[in-house]
A and B are shown apart, each in its own frame.
Chain A
């Protein structure tokens, strides 16, 4: 069974630029999560999708972050414009139904200069 795929793996941008990350969850998994993990901290949930609907985006900085999951499969997370404090690893995870184990992708390491 293929795992959660993410791209790119690494990204370096200047502050105020835009960036987008892509995630392909495990086939058949209805629930998709985006987490932000700052160095030395645990992952923090940004947004949770159930199929193509948003379940929780209470911790998403909506003035600069946006996410979508069209057709209930792949998802993209965008930051526009980026700030220095956005430097982190962005982890995508999926689970079968939101009640079972979450499987994490390899993450995208973002550096904002």
Chain B
């Protein structure tokens, strides 16, 4: 079992729709959770982080965490073509630096 699992996609949504990206993790001791965006040929950039169960909102982005289910999600409201990228879920298990999933490729259709 991979430590951090994501559906590779591509996830295709029309412009203006809500994109929902999901991530599961295996280590119950994981403490903090991060979503990075990576455009093709570029390096990852942090979008959001979340530590506590529940929702955290920042502009068009909402991160959701459910530690009991070992599940993290990222919602992108009013999706734009510029949101088309690979979204990486990363987990801090406290044992080492971040463990990344393989990413979900999002395509926003104009």
Among A24-49, those with CB < 8 Å from B are 33, 40-45, 48
Assess whether B28 is interfacial by the CB under 8 Å rule. Answer: no
Q: Could you say which interface size class chain A belongs to? A: 10 to 19
Establish whether residues B101 and A42, one from each chain, have CB atoms under 8 Å apart when the complex forms.
yes
Establish whether residues B100 and A43, one from each chain, have CB atoms under 8 Å apart when the complex forms.
yes
Q: How far is the CA of A3 from the CA of B8 in the complex (A)?
A: 29
Q: How many residues of B contact A (CB 8 A)?
A: 18
Interface of B is mostly: loop
Establish whether residues A48 and B97, one from each chain, have CB atoms under 8 Å apart when the complex forms.
yes
Q: How far is the CA of A67 from the CA of B97 in the complex (A)?
A: 16
Chain A 76-113 per-residue mask, 1 if CB under 8 angstroms from chain B, else 0: 00000000000000010000001001101111000000
Q: How far is the CA of A10 from the CA of B27 in the complex (A)?
A: 35
Interface of A is mostly: loop
Partner of A56, one of B46, B96, B100: B96
Establish whether residues B102 and A107, one from each chain, have CB atoms under 8 Å apart when the complex forms.
no
Q: How far is the CA of A57 from the CA of B42 in the complex (A)?
A: 25
For A105, the chain B residues whose CB sits under 8 A away are 43
Known pairs A42-B88, A42-B103, A107-B43; A101 contacts B96 (CB<8 A): no
For A91, the chain B residues whose CB sits under 8 A away are 43-44
A-B contact pairs, 28 of them (CB 8 A): A33-B97, A40-B8, A41-B103, A42-B4, A42-B88, A42-B100, A43-B44, A43-B88, A43-B100, A44-B100, A45-B96, A45-B98, A45-B99, A48-B96, A48-B97, A58-B96, A59-B96, A91-B43, A91-B44, A98-B97, A101-B46, A101-B49, A102-B97, A104-B43, A104-B45, A105-B43, A106-B42, A106-B43
What residues make up the interface of B, taking CB atoms closer than 8 Å to A? Answer: 4, 8, 42-46, 49, 88, 90, 96-103
Return the 6 tightest CB-CB contacts between A and B, nearest first. A42-B100, A104-B43, A56-B96, A45-B97, A48-B97, A42-B102
